């Protein structure tokens, strides 16, 4: 499917806030998200069910999907941002109006559980979507610069980790580990590994053929990370890629009774023997300073330098 690009976001544009996954139980996070986006120059419009609750979800499946459909249909809304992740976004995939979305292309972003939506929307419509900070994320200067360069300034941006500013003989933070050197080009897909693997066989994942896959996760036992990667391997997805970028796997530890496998060992098992470039440590995931990665955009990775270079602007 030919990629569709949304118009770039500009100061004064209206961002619609949606909650496709977890409910937020306090008022303060809504206030912080709104104040942050307004400080960045945007107007904010809440989805009709943004503050709804049903169990741990932000309203029923129908309500959460309805907000996304309504904001894509609303000509006064220029882009849509998830306020948070959590769990449950994959439940609403069959309820989205993909024809409506395709006819009204807009910025759509978020990360973590929103991985389901940004990949499904691209797969079903061709619209380039964005693995970006959520509304309640910490929009520090690095994250703002990444977002602005990709989504607002429409640059063919090169994503490069921030420098470790500590006064140390060798940097400790933001280090790149090259598993397989080289450069590769392809369309970007990916996000949270747990969510991606849960979508295997669903028909809502984009093509892995000649793609650059990026993955991240948090709070998962290492044996579960191994299981998730085995799901992608058994589906044939890992055989068809052009390259892999491994982001942050924060607080991923061995599980009780499952030995002491390390992330190094797991990633080595799945990627060292591949023919394509692979690197680890990209600023993607449940971390403070984040890239904004466009799903579906053409990019080139350099596994030795640890960079992701967009080959063209991701927005118009």
d(CA 97, CA 65): 9
Q: Of 22, 57, 187, 286, which is the active-site residue?
A: 286
Q: Of 21, 112, 137, 149, which is the active-site residue?
A: 112
**Going by DSSP bridges, is the β-strand pair 14-18/43-46 parallel, antiparallel, or unpaired?**
parallel
Asked if 286 is an active-site residue, the reply is yes
Asked if 112 is an active-site residue, the reply is yes
* Secondary structure (H, E, C), the chain: CCCECCCCCCCCCEEEEECCCECCCCCHHHHHHHHHHHHCCCEEEECCCCCCCECCECCCHHHHHHHHHHHHHCCCCCEEEECCCCCCHHHHHHHCCHHHHHHCCCEEEECHHHHHHHHHHHHHHCECEEECCCCCCCCCHHHHHHHHHHHHCCCCCEECCCCCCCCCCCCCCCCCEEEECCEEEEEEEEEEHHHHHHCCCCCCCCCCCCEEEEEEEECCCHHHHHHHHHHHHHCCHHHCCCEEEEEEEECCCCCCCCCCCCHHHHHHHHHCCCCCCEEECCCCCCCCCCCCEEECCEEEEECCCCEEEECCCCCC
d(CA 27, CA 6): 31
Q: Which residues are catalytic?
A: 112, 216, 286
């Amino acid at each position: 499917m030919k990629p569709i690009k949304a118009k770039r976001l500009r100061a004064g544009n209206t961002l619609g806030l949606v909650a496709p996954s977890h409910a937020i139980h306090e008022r303060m996070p809504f206030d912080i998200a709104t104040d942050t986006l307004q400080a960045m120059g945007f107007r904010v419009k809440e989805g009709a069910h943004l503050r709804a609750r049903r169990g741990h979800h932000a309203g029923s499946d129908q309500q959460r999907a309805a907000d996304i459909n309504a904001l894509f249909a609303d000509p006064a809304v220029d882009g849509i941002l998830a306020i948070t992740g959590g769990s449950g976004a994959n439940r609403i995939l069959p309820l989205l109006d993909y024809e409506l979305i395709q006819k009204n292309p807009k910025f759509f972003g978020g990360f973590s559980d929103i991985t389901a939506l940004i990949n499904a929307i691209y797969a079903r419509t061709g619209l380039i979507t964005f693995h970006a900070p959520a509304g309640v994320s910490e929009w520090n200067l690095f994250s703002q610069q990444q977002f602005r360069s990709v989504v607002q300034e429409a640059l063919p941006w090169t994503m490069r980790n921030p420098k470790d500013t500590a006064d140390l003989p060798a940097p400790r933070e933001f280090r790149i580990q090259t598993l397989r050197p080289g450069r590769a080009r392809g369309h970007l897909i990916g996000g949270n590994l747990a969510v991606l693997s849960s979508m295997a066989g669903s028909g809502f994942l984009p093509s892995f053929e000649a793609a650059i896959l990026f993955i991240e996760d948090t709070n998962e036992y290492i044996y579960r990370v191994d299981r998730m990667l085995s799901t992608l391997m058994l589906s044939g997805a890992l055989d068809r890629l052009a390259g892999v970028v491994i982001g942050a796997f924060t607080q991923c530890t061995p599980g009780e009774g499952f030995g002491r496998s390390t992330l190094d060992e797991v990633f080595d098992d799945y990627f060292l023997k591949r023919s394509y470039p692979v690197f680890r440590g990209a600023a993607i995931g449940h971390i403070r300073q984040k890239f904004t990665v466009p799903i579906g955009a053409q990019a080139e990775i350099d596994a030795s330098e640890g960079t992701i270079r967009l080959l063209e602007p991701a927005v118009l």
